[in-house]
Amino acid sequence: MQEFVSSIGKRFIVNISPEWVNLVNDIISVPGVVMVLGNTDVGKTNFCLQLCAAGYQASIPTFIVDADVGQSEIGAPGTISMAIVDKPIEALSDLKPKRLYFVGGTSPIGHMMECAIGVKKMVDAALELGAKLVVVDTTGMVEGEPGRKLKTYKTDLVRPNYLVGIQKRREIEHLLAPFSKIESVKTIALKASAEARRKPTEFRTARRRLNFYNHFHDVHGHIIRMQDVCCWNTWLGTGRPMKWQYMKSIEDALKCKVLHAEITGDGIFIVSERACSKSGMVILEEEFKTSKITIMPGELFGNLLVGLADENGHTLNVGLIQAIDFKQKCIFVLSPMKTISPVRVVQFGSLRVTKEGLELGALRWGEF
């Protein structure tokens, strides 16, 4: 245990590994951007908590970027969040997010670009707000080619002053080595906390479910007119609506009702009432002279996680699509937002989840 004294004289206590005290003190003496890497259950979040508490105690403007999209402590589910450490904390969850970046899923797999860009944007936002110490807590995805690629590009994009790898043996050294000769980045290998215990997969799943439940179980329903917003990460609303006679031709070929169809570049995006037979695809490809035809059953938009952003593309909060009325051209979403009026961008995620937190699976980019 380690006792800290805040700048207002209040005493509070956090768990601290004695082996980490010197490093925390070194960073506090010369603060900067600190990115913390490590496998799951090695104590990354605990180390970040210690560093944030020490920064606050030293009256250093301290910010935390929570980039662990699967086990987020601060922001809404499926986001990377940034918060100001402006009070004594016993857990990162004590903090409220100052800024969000919507990723749209709870795993870096399929969202590697969003994860890298999101961390960069949140770090930049913290520095713009006057941060002197920015602590970045990352996911436990460090193994294999995907983990190596994600962490390498994320580090290169952010260029932290300190790159801290917490490891049980030497499993993080391959992520530190590429930056060991970069003058602006100080790489540090740190032994994992002896207090860290591996959490079962069921625990992590239950925790994600609780986070979703807490976010959506008692929220407002909002109607978003599609003419008032633009859509990201989806074909929907990015093309030219097809004329009714073409819609009829598509329905005849697919033998099912078509709710929406639009021309997107050199392809066609179709929303059907139900799953359609693929046999009609050949007819459509011949008729419209393109093989780039995407068909999506409209029901798959239900329970889809979305980010709700302002006119600058800054995520305000996270919502959950309940339905899309293609005739009236409006989207019905659940969100803790009190009013939907500032929303100008609907950022489509890939994860489908109920408001009770039950994950229904993910859509792949290109399917919607």
The four Cα atoms 73, 12, 17, 191 give a dihedral, to 10 degrees, of 40
| CB 216 within 8 Å of CB 334 | yes
> In CATH terms, are 215-233+300-362 and 240-295 the same topology?
no
Alpha carbon distance 269, 366 (integer Å): 10
CB-count exposure of residue 344 (10 Å: 0-12, 13-18, 19+): middle
- Ordered by start, the domain boundaries in the chain are 2-198, 215-233+300-362, 240-295
Is pTM beyond 0.85? Reply is: yes
| CB 80 within 8 Å of CB 100 | yes
Chosen CATH of 2-198 out of 3.40.50.300, 2.40.37.10, 3.30.360.10, 3.40.50.11900 = 3.40.50.300
Q: Is residue 163 helix, strand or coil?
A: strand
Q: Which residues pair with 164 in a beta bridge?
A: 36, 188
Nearest to 360 by CA among 308, 313, 312, 302: 302
Alpha carbon distance 305, 318 (integer Å): 7
Chosen CATH of 240-295 out of 3.30.300, 1.10.3470, 1.10.10, 3.30.70 = 3.30.300
Alpha carbon distance 57, 23 (integer Å): 16
CATH topology for 215-233+300-362 is Elongation Factor Tu (Ef-tu); domain 3 (2.40.30)
Alpha carbon distance 164, 68 (integer Å): 16
Tens digit of each residue's pLDDT, the chain (368 residues): 455 443 334 444 445 667 788 999 999 999 999 999 988 888 888 899 999 999 999 999 999 999 998 888 898 889 999 999 999 988 899 999 999 999 999 988 889 999 999 999 999 999 999 999 999 999 888 888 988 999 999 999 999 999 999 988 888 999 999 999 999 999 999 988 776 667 667 888 888 899 999 999 889 899 999 999 999 999 999 999 888 888 888 888 888 899 999 998 888 999 999 888 778 888 888 888 888 989 999 999 999 999 999 999 999 999 999 999 999 999 999 999 999 999 999 999 999 999 999 999 999 887 88
Q: Is residue 190 helix, strand or coil?
A: strand
Give pLDDT tens digits for 176-192. 999 999 999 999 999 88
Query: Which pLDDT belongs to residue 201?
Result: 77
| CB 42 within 8 Å of CB 190 | no
